[in-house]
Chain A
């Protein structure tokens, strides 16, 4: 085991170094290229240059230019024009947009944006902001790149699996636009570090993936007076809000609502699903990240956001809802303004910079967490290894050959997961179908009972083993089956496989797919 870990670690380090090497080579090539450009001569201020540039071969033109260049040398482009030559070329398509223009671009160039979370939202958001020429981009993430990230986290790459997400994103963003100043923060944002990290930036993107981090980022943005572009995605759905915009001090009712105004209380932890559990379609989270970049550009390029009477104005607050499988896919909802009793942004706010930096606010506790499931006694559970013996070994007492049909194996993962891979001979009864059965006590019948309950009753002597992905849903299912009287008052053994298919893969069948 130790050597496997070492191999993994070495492979990770090698790919990290290779990526850095590749990046250095590319930087060298770029530096050499721009040096050549410099040597080939500066842009010619001579009006003749315009005529020469049409229909005349480049080599011939440079010869002519070389001859003419000894006369009245033009001032350096940087002194002459507000942007340098490369910037005009690179950003030309956005510069000619009236929504941006020269002033808007200069605002982007002087702006700094902090992107918290460099995953499915943060990657596309960072790519577009770097592409647009935002002057400084800070990247916050404590995770490393995993293979299961790659279908949506577009800045990372196969070669960079194992590298920190921040380093990986820096390589990609630098190669996209080397003029952007990138600032790495390779740890998770904490209450203690949030204010000091955020205060140096003009705007923040919340690209995180937990309720605790969303409350923390919002509180810190209110306390430091930064507008916040917040997005989230799961499965086929996405949501987007621009919060604390305009970012006025707590108590100023003209300021935009914060995350706590919209969601004063955190949702119960059992209602929360992660992308790992619920799944996520790559372009869904991509769309939301791209929209975050768009909203950031809109906020940053806006010309003096002040109305006639000197009041700071902004778009009225709204929530954009995206669903990939409805028509239309987008829907915009009008949101409340600042909440009169908001704990963060009202005159009665209780969340202070001191409370945050001292670490006395426990966001993880505030949002709660799901206690591990312990629904069964130890004699109602079997390890994956012992279940394997039931399947493959000769029974030492009876001498019977092992048979798959000596028992019933029920897999309670959802059908779509079951279809990916399953243990031979297992029967699929999705957990959602199990939970839908109303609670009842004893061996009573209900007209609405699904088929599988009747089927199990037909085979009253066979032991039932229940398995799921990780070993939680299987426990609840066993409880439910006993509630339904399927154990014949204790005569039939019903239990689950401890640790689910994860344990099955670790301890029995190494080839069982890990998805």
Chain B
């Protein structure tokens, strides 16, 4: 799974609840992301969100994904099927093979 150069790792990013529309209607992406962020720190979820804004999202309506430098209210971030609050929120350090799921709340009934 991991990159031979060992300076990238492979993670899966998934979208649910309509967020996939901002990502070209793809519900599941396989990403290779740098193991270290710009300041040389181990890449965490906060870095992933910035990375996705800069490199992955094609839709200009980025405000439907991020607000004030973090995921907007109404989006749950789930790290390996657990609420990110259980894993240290955006400070969670990513590992090779992690699954990050972004879920937008639904309100219809």
Chain A residues engaging chain B, CB cutoff 8 angstroms: 117, 119-122, 206-211, 214, 231-235, 237-239, 262-268, 270-275, 278, 280, 285, 319, 321, 323, 326, 331-336, 339, 432, 435-439
What would be 22 A-B contacts, judged by CB atoms less than 8 Å apart?
Answer: A120-B109, A209-B108, A209-B109, A234-B106, A263-B73, A264-B73, A267-B74, A268-B63, A268-B73, A273-B108, A275-B108, A278-B18, A278-B108, A319-B76, A321-B17, A323-B16, A333-B76, A336-B85, A339-B85, A432-B21, A435-B61, A438-B60
In the complex, the answer to whether A211 meets B107 with C-beta atoms within 8 Å is yes
Which B residues lie at the A interface, using CB under 8 A? 16-18, 21, 27, 58-61, 63-64, 67, 72-76, 78, 81-83, 85-86, 101, 103-109
Question: Which residue of A234, A333, A336 is within 8 Å of B18 (Cβ)?
Answer: A234
Known pairs A334-B81, A336-B86; A238 contacts B106 (CB<8 A): yes
Cβ contact within 8 Å between B60 and A233: no
Q: Is the CB of B105 within 8 A of A333?
A: no
Contacts known (A285-B108, A438-B60); A263 close to B86, Cβ less than 8 A = no
B83 touching A333 by the CB < 8 A rule? yes
Residues of B near A121 (CB, < 8 A) are 109
CA distance A224 to B106 in the complex (A): 25
Could you say which of B18, B60, B67, B108 contacts A280, with CB atoms under 8 Å apart?
A: B108
Give Cα A438 to B61, complex, Å. 9
Complex-state Cα separation, A364 to B96, whole angstroms: 43
Q: Which A residue's beta carbon lies closest to that of B60?
A: A438
Assess whether A333 is in contact with B60, with CB atoms less than 8 Å apart. Answer: no
From A232, A262, A334, A335, B106 is in contact (CB under 8 Å) with A232
Contacts of B81 in A (CB 8 A): 331-334
Q: Which residues of B contact A232 (CB under 8 A)?
A: 105-109
Q: Looking across the interface, which residue of chain A has its beta carbon closest to that of B25?
A: A432
Q: Is the CB of A335 within 8 A of B83?
A: yes
How many cross-chain pairs have Cβ atoms below 8 Å apart between A and B? Answer: 118
Q: Is B60 touching A435 in the complex (CB atoms < 8 A)? A: yes
Chain B residues positioned under 8 Å from A331 (CB to CB): 81
Q: Does A267 contact B105, Cβ atoms closer than 8 Å?
A: yes
Contact A233 B67, beta carbon cutoff 8 Å: no
Q: Are B64 and A122 in contact (CB under 8 A)?
A: no
Q: A214 and B107: CB pair below 8 A? A: yes
Tell whether, in the assembled complex, residue A267 and residue B58 are in contact, meaning their CB atoms are under 8 Å apart: no
CA distance A263 to B78 in the complex (A): 13
Q: How far is the CA of A268 from the CA of B62 in the complex (A)?
A: 13
Cα A432 to Cα B60 with chains together (Å): 11
* Pair A268/B105 contact, Cβ less than 8 Å: no
On chain A, the residues within 8 Å of B82 by CB distance are 333-334
Q: Are A436 and B58 in contact (CB under 8 A)?
A: yes
Contact B18 A285 (CB under 8 A): no
Which residues of chain A come closer than 8 Å to B27, judged between CB atoms?
323, 326
Write out the residue numbers on chain A whose beta carbons fall within 8 Å of the beta carbon of B105: 211, 232, 239, 263, 267
Q: How far is the CA of A339 from the CA of B83 in the complex (A)?
A: 12
A272 and B58 within 8 A (CB)? no
